[in-house]
Amino acid sequence: MSVRRSARLLALPLVALVAAAGCGGSSGGKQSVSTQNSPGASASVDSAAAALLPASVKSKGSLTVAADASYAPNEFIGTDGKTVEGMDADLAAALGKVLGVKVTVENQSFDSIIPGIVDGKYDLGMSSFTDNKTREKQVDFVDYFVAGTSFFVKANGGPKVNTLADLCGLSVSVEKGTTQQDDATAQSGKCTKAGKKKVSVSVFPDQSGANLALSSGKVQVSMADSPVAAYQVKQSNGQFALSGQAYGTAPYGIACTKGTGLDNAILAALKDVMASGTYTQILDKWGIQSGAITTPTINGATS
């Protein structure tokens, strides 16, 4: 443990030295740092990517990442009761290693993260954010994954829902501030316009509340991002089942403050993480390889 820590302490000034010496070159010097055995154990610091970090991050030497840890398997609180774990947490750690900065993942409520990034309270938001044009007005996104929305219902006696249109007359639970909240509310309007019964949407402060409402029978359907829905169904030991197909496949983006250049640094680091195979390792660990992408982009939303 002490060998690892001193090796990491050595890495930072060495990175700074190499960056100062050969910054802007075509291939920055890669420094090997031995780390603990989680996905990304063989990560090395990419000084070219680290050089793209904004000055404030470089001087801090750390990145603050915000995530709403009620969204397993992407972000959730681990068994120790305080560490944020999951796909986003692992990816944040891998990015931190490549950039040679410390990464702290904080648990914050979902709808406070984007305003927090705009205000500069957090550096990054990695909370399964769907990259869309509305959110791109507030922050820049580095797209790293794709996911759609899935419906899940009670396995015994749950309704059959294939598309949003099937929701008319049903009760749905969603998390506050998500695209699912918008979709379900919009669908309710469409249902009433078509003369059908409205969708009874229950918006909960977090996904746990939405899941509880489904398991206690308060609502008939729940909607969440497809990896989250799949994980819920897996963890429920046969109580829940997925219904229909995932729709609205859209990219997940890492939210960064506009105009700081942080998105370029993250993009470069992400390309390294993908090239080294760490990305695939992380997705495999959580069983969500189906959402993998090959080329990360910035602000790749189409709607």
Partner 1 sequence: MLVNTLAFSSTTRGRSVVSRFDWQVIGQYFASDRVFQGLERTLLLTLIAMAIGIAGGIVLAVMRLSANPIVSGTAWVYIWFFRGTPVLLQIYFWFNLNFLYPNLTLGVPFGPALYHADTNGLITKFVAAFLALGLNEAAYMAEIVRAGILSVDEGQTEAAQALGMTRLQTMRRIVLPQAMRVIIPPTGNETISMLKTTSLVSVIAYTELLYAVQLIYSVNYQIVPLLIVAALWYLIVTTVLTIGQYYVERHFGRGSARMLPPTPIERLRTLVLRSPESKAL
Residues 152 and 232 sit within 8 Å (Cβ to Cβ)? yes
Window 117 to 146, contacts with partner 1 (CB under 8 A): 118-120, 138
Residues 6+ apart with CB under 8 A from 205: 109, 175, 176
- Site for partner 1 contains 216 (CB under 8 A): yes
How many Å apart are CA 278 and CA 94, to the nearest integer?
Answer: 8
Beta carbons within 10 angstroms of residue 57's beta carbon = 21
Which residue among 258, 261, 292, 299 contacts partner 1 (CB under 8 A)?
258
Which residue among 148, 159, 209, 261 contacts partner 1 (CB under 8 A)?
209
Choose the binding region for partner 1 from 160-168, 173-181, 247-255, 278-286 (rule: CB under 8 A). 173-181
Window 56 to 75, contacts with partner 1 (CB under 8 A): 56
Which residue among 218, 249, 289, 290 contacts partner 1 (CB under 8 A)?
218
- Site for partner 1 contains 114 (CB under 8 A): yes
Beta carbons within 10 angstroms of residue 195's beta carbon = 7
Closer CB to partner 1, 68 or 88, in the complex: 68
Shortest Å, Cβ 265 to partner 1: 16
- Site for partner 1 contains 98 (CB under 8 A): no
Shortest Å, Cβ 44 to partner 1: 30
How many Å apart are CA 44 and CA 14, to the nearest integer?
Answer: 12
- Site for partner 1 contains 115 (CB under 8 A): yes
Choose the binding region for partner 1 from 1-9, 66-74, 100-108, 177-185 (rule: CB under 8 A). 177-185
- Using alpha carbons, select from 254, 294, 283 the residue that is nearest to residue 103: 254
Shortest Å, Cβ 276 to partner 1: 31
Shortest Å, Cβ 180 to partner 1: 12
Closer CB to partner 1, 78 or 120, in the complex: 120
Window 221 to 240, contacts with partner 1 (CB under 8 A): none
Closer CB to partner 1, 3 or 55, in the complex: 55
Shortest Å, Cβ 125 to partner 1: 13
Choose the binding region for partner 1 from 100-108, 154-162, 169-177, 235-243 (rule: CB under 8 A). 169-177
Closer CB to partner 1, 110 or 286, in the complex: 110
Which residues in this chain contact partner 1 in the complex, by CB under 8 A? 56, 110-112, 114-115, 118-120, 138, 173, 176-177, 181-182, 202-205, 209, 212-213, 216-218, 257-260
